[in-house]
């Protein structure tokens, strides 16, 4: 009897575990569970060998011969009016269908179709097909400004317009593809003057100057933010704007701390020569869902979850970031320096380091519900084969990932 029960457990366990796993993991093969392109940059598509079953194209006669085989869905919302571009390459050679959909424009605000998702619109046949492509993934493909057999022309989008991209491979296997996404803002449609606020604190313009510009890393547009200057002989203070101009009369060594709502913070240390103009553009990363940031300066003693000297400043900066962006929830990710395969002890230590950061944040006023802490052992070492002590030390760290932004 015991043997029969044991065999039954062995037989049912894999399917049970799989069903539990599927409840917690998004299926990017489905339109409704698409992955979000939050900003220009590099993205990875993990094809699972399956296709989505919740969306069909029966309402489109032009797609009657399309056979879904192995799909991956992405969505994108235009931050401004501009041109959406991307290039892709896959690790496996196959034929791939690429379809891009948008919502039909012009509906009255009370129209029920206006308030549905693009996936719903595809099922009823009201979504607009913006692009249909069939490409060979042995070569690069996508949207650019020089169309050929592998590329179509980029897609012009209005501010706030949403598109859905479906990639459908002819191969029913697990493999990865890689996208590089670009978005060229139409600056003529953006009131750049409204985004700028210039702060000129020079008393005498005959001296050399330091000019600091704050820019959105995704769009290149100006950002209004708060900049604190420290360790300077004459420039210490708090300044609010998008561009700052200072006089440099003597050799300076100063520190800048920049914060802007909706962006990751930046800390910068400068050495300035006298009698020489300096210009600095600081590119701020939008704090969007899925984004990750390394927390330089939050490091740990060897074999310990104790912070090394100097970590308090960066911990305070992280706390201030969360106070400024109260809708953001983060995962704190702990890491260790460890050779070879990741061990249980390494995972436990990295988890302890993440929890030490979480404890600091909670003790300093951040709600527990906005935080989670996980240890990744040595899976994501910055220096897998370090040659110096400081590289080993850099592996003993934490970073954060935005998991929710209400």
Digit-coded pLDDT (tens) for 274-283: 889 999 999 9
Number of domains comprising the chain: 3
Residue 387 has pLDDT above 90, yes or no: no
Query: How far is Cα 262 from Cα 282, in angstroms, rounded to an integer?
Result: 15
- What is the pLDDT averaged over residues 268-292? 89
Query: How far is Cα 382 from Cα 135, in angstroms, rounded to an integer?
Result: 35
| 9 — pLDDT class (breaks 50, 70, 90) | very low
Based on the domain organization, do 315 and 267 belong to the same domain? no
The answer for residues whose C-beta is within 8 angstroms of residue 225's C-beta and 6 or more apart is 214, 240, 241, 242, 258, 259, 260, 263, 284
Query: How far is Cα 273 from Cα 288, in angstroms, rounded to an integer?
Result: 37
- What is the pLDDT averaged over residues 261-279? 91
Is residue 305, in this structure, part of any structural domain at all? yes
pLDDT tens digits, one per residue of 75-105:
999 988 999 999 999 998 999 999 999 998 7
- What is the pLDDT averaged over residues 357-372? 95
Is residue 11, in this structure, part of any structural domain at all? no
CB 248 within 8 A of CB 210: yes
Amino acid 107: pLDDT: 52
Which of the two residues, 227 and 203, has the higher pLDDT score? 227
Least confident of 53-57, 92-96, 350-354: 53-57
Amino acid 243: pLDDT: 96
Least confident of 205-219, 342-356, 384-398: 384-398
Amino acid 17: pLDDT: 34
| 24 — pLDDT class (breaks 50, 70, 90) | very low
Query: How far is Cα 182 from Cα 203, in angstroms, rounded to an integer?
Result: 41
Based on the domain organization, do 275 and 232 belong to the same domain? yes
Amino acid 23: pLDDT: 35
Is residue 3, in this structure, part of any structural domain at all? no
Alpha helices in 263-324 (DSSP H): 311-324
Based on the domain organization, do 335 and 272 belong to the same domain? no
Based on the domain organization, do 174 and 212 belong to the same domain? no
Based on the domain organization, do 344 and 383 belong to the same domain? yes
Amino acid 22: pLDDT: 34
Is residue 159, in this structure, part of any structural domain at all? yes
CATH number at residue 145: 2.60.120.510
Is residue 301, in this structure, part of any structural domain at all? yes
Based on the domain organization, do 343 and 396 belong to the same domain? yes
- What is the pLDDT averaged over residues 215-229? 91
pLDDT tens digits, one per residue of 101-156:
999 875 555 555 566 889 999 999 999 999 999 999 999 999 999 999 999 999 99
| 7 — pLDDT class (breaks 50, 70, 90) | very low
- What is the pLDDT averaged over residues 30-35? 88
Amino acid 1: pLDDT: 53
Query: How far is Cα 373 from Cα 305, in angstroms, rounded to an integer?
Result: 13
Based on the domain organization, do 48 and 181 belong to the same domain? yes
Where a domain ends, among 230, 252, 284? 284
Distances (CA, A) of 54 to 6, 57, 60, 103, 123: 37, 10, 16, 18, 9
Amino acid 288: pLDDT: 83
Domain extent for 365? 292-405
CATH number at residue 206: 2.60.40.2190
96-135 in b/e form (b: 16+ CB < 10 A) is: bbbbbbbbeeeeeeeeeeeebbbbbbbbeeebeebbebeb
Is residue 32, in this structure, part of any structural domain at all? yes
Q: Under DSSP, is residue 77 helix (H, G, I), strand (E, B) or coil?
A: strand
Dihedral through CA 310, CA 311, CA 314, CA 318, nearest 10? -160
Is residue 17, in this structure, part of any structural domain at all? no
CATH number at residue 372: 3.30.1330.60
SS3 content of the chain, % helix, strand, coil (to 5): 20, 40, 40
Is residue 14, in this structure, part of any structural domain at all? no
Based on the domain organization, do 301 and 319 belong to the same domain? yes
Amino acid 131: pLDDT: 96
Where a domain ends, among 132, 162, 187? 187
Based on the domain organization, do 177 and 69 belong to the same domain? yes
Amino acid 20: pLDDT: 35
Q: Tokens for 190, please give them.
A: 């953006």
Based on the domain organization, do 149 and 62 belong to the same domain? yes
Least confident of 266-280, 297-311, 358-372: 297-311
Positive or negative torsion for Cα 339, 342, 343, 347: positive
The overall average pLDDT reported for the chain is 86
Based on the domain organization, do 252 and 391 belong to the same domain? no
Distances (CA, A) of 119 to 33, 67, 315, 316: 10, 18, 42, 42
Based on the domain organization, do 79 and 217 belong to the same domain? no
Where a domain ends, among 170, 187, 204? 187
Q: At what angle do helices 311-324 and 344-363 cross, to 10 degrees?
A: 60
- What is the pLDDT averaged over residues 58-87? 92
Which of the two residues, 324 and 339, has the higher pLDDT score? 324
């Amino acid at each position: 009897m015991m043997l029969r029960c044991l065999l039954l457990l062995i037989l049912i366990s894999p399917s049970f575990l799989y069903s539990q796993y599927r409840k917690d993991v998004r299926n990017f093969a489905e339109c409704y569970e698409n992955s979000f392109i939050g900003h220009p940059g590099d993205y990875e598509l993990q094809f699972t060998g399956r296709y989505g079953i919740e969306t069909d194209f029966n309402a489109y006669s032009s797609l009657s011969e399309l056979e879904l085989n192995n799909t991956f869905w992405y969505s994108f919302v235009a931050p401004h009016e501009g041109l959406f571009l991307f290039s892709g390459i896959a690790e496996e050679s196959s034929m791939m269908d690429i379809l891009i959909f948008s919502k039909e424009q012009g509906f009255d605000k009370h129209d029920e179709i206006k308030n549905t998702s693009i996936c719903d619109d595809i099922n009823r046949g009201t979504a607009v097909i913006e692009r249909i492509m069939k490409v060979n993934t042995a070569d690069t493909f996508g949207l650019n400004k020089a169309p050929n057999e592998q590329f179509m022309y980029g897609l012009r989008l209005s501010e706030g317009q949403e598109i859905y991209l479906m990639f459908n491979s002819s191969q029913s296997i697990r493999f990865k593809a890689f996208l590089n996404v670009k978005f060229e803002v139409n600056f003529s449609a953006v009131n750049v003057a409204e985004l700028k606020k210039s702060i000129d604190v020079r008393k005498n313009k005959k001296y050399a100057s330091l000019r600091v510009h704050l820019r959105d890393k995704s769009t290149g547009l100006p950002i209004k933010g708060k900049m604190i200057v420290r360790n300077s002989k004459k420039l210490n203070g708090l300044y609010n704007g998008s561009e700052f101009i200072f006089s440099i009369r003597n050799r300076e060594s100063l520190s800048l701390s920049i914060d802007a709502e909706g962006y990751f913070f930046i800390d910068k240390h400068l050495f300035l020569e006298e009698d020489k103009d300096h210009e600095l553009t600081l590119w701020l990363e939008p704090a969007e869902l899925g984004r990750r940031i390394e927390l330089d300066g939050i490091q740990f003693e060897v074999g310990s979850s104790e912070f090394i000297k100097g970590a308090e400043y960066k911990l305070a900066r992280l706390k201030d970031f969360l106070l400024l962006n109260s809708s953001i929830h983060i995962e704190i990710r702990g890491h260790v320096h460890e050779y070879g395969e990741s061990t249980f002890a390494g995972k436990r230590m990295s988890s302890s380091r993440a929890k030490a950061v979480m404890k600091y944040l909670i003790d300093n006023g951040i709600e527990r519900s906005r935080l989670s802490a996980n240890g990744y052992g040595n899976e994501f070492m910055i220096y897998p084969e370090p040659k110096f002590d400081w590289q080993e030390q850099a592996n003993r760290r934490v970073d954060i990932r935005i998991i929710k932004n209400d």
